[in-house]
Amino acid sequence: MRILLTGATGFIGSAFLRLASGRGHEVVALLRPGRLAASLPPAGHRRWLIGSLAEPPWDEIKRVEPDTCVHAAWITTPGVYLQSPENHHFAKWSEDFICRACECGVRRVVALGTCIEYQMESRPLREDETPLAPMTTYARCKNALREVLTEAAKRGGFSLAWCRIFYPYGIGEHPQRLCSVMVQELARGETVVLKTPHSTKDFIHIDDLAAALLTVTQSNASGAINLGTGKGTTVRHLAQTIAGLMGREKLVVEADSCAPDPLSFVVADASKLLALGWRPQIELQDGLARLIRHLTQ
């Protein structure tokens, strides 16, 4: 495949770029103006095009003639992205970019959605059963883009896979993401206070997520597809596992009163993904151990 990739320097996009180019796919990735291309050199089957979602280098993209677009670019800064007005800009830029890319010959689009598009339930979230009820600006804009692209795919004759991402973790994540925050606090000898110890999430290692995304990209699967493990882990278990690996078990405590969590159980039904042949390869303890080594070296 010849893949046009957005968000290639982000947490998920960069992991996908390494894997896809390593598997022999030609990946042409957008690099925002101002970034140093020299620090991200071409290698193997990858190359860079200077541009952005708002101002793409269409002449160069046309010359490349990509057949597939993997769209990973979006605002994801912890503490900011859920309600940021920038989400509206990304939704519009994404719509224009993908529709124009399809006019340039792209016939398969794989775009990243989010698990919090769903209405939260106390059971695994299933693509064809769980209602949608996005509560944040981020989730609403993602879902609105999905609706627009679904209609465009019907009219334009391209295949669309909408990948709902659950909770990725691992080396390269933002330092304010949950796992990295816990590791850094424990490394400094600080107490980790759990405000939502019973909150249960579907944590997926970034390498497994990249493999899942590539599996979907290489398939002919369309529609919404959950990218998660299908296993839930409580915040308490996550913290205790990290602390155990670091020998800091006594530094994990629970708050006197638990805070309400509107996302208290967010676990994928991974049946559609598993049916494509994907299997997770990295157990939570091993993935956390890798992250700890990376952050504490």
Which amino acid, one-letter code, is at 251? L
Look at residues 13, 102, 112, 10 and name the one whose alpha carbon lies nearest to residue 56.
102
Specify the pLDDT at position 156: 85
Specify the pLDDT at position 34: 72
Contact 119, 133 (CB under 8 A): yes
Specify the pLDDT at position 39: 45
pLDDT digits (tens, 9 = 90+) for 50-73: 999 999 999 999 999 999 999 999
Specify the pLDDT at position 228: 98
Using 50, 70 and 90 to split pLDDT, how confident is the model at 46? Answer: confident
In the three-class reduction of DSSP (H, G, I as helix; E, B as strand; rest coil), residue 295 is classed as helix
pLDDT digits (tens, 9 = 90+) for 264-296: 999 999 999 999 999 999 999 999 999 999 999
- Check whether 203 has a pLDDT greater than 80: yes
Instruction: Read off the tokens for 210.
Output: 């990249």
Which amino acid, one-letter code, is at 81? Y
> Domain residue spans in the chain?
2-166+204-227, 169-202+231-266+281-296
What fold characterizes domain 2-166+204-227?
Rossmann fold (3.40.50)
- Check whether 37 has a pLDDT greater than 70: no
- Check whether 255 has a pLDDT greater than 60: yes
169-202+231-266+281-296 is classed in which CATH architecture? Alpha-Beta Complex (3.90)
Query: How far apart are the C-alpha atoms of 32 and 236, rounded to whole Å?
Result: 39
Instruction: Read off the tokens for 25.
Output: 């796919």
**pLDDT, averaged across the chain:** 95
Instruction: Read off the tokens for 246.
Output: 């670091």
Instruction: Read off the tokens for 244.
Output: 């155990």
Specify the pLDDT at position 93: 98
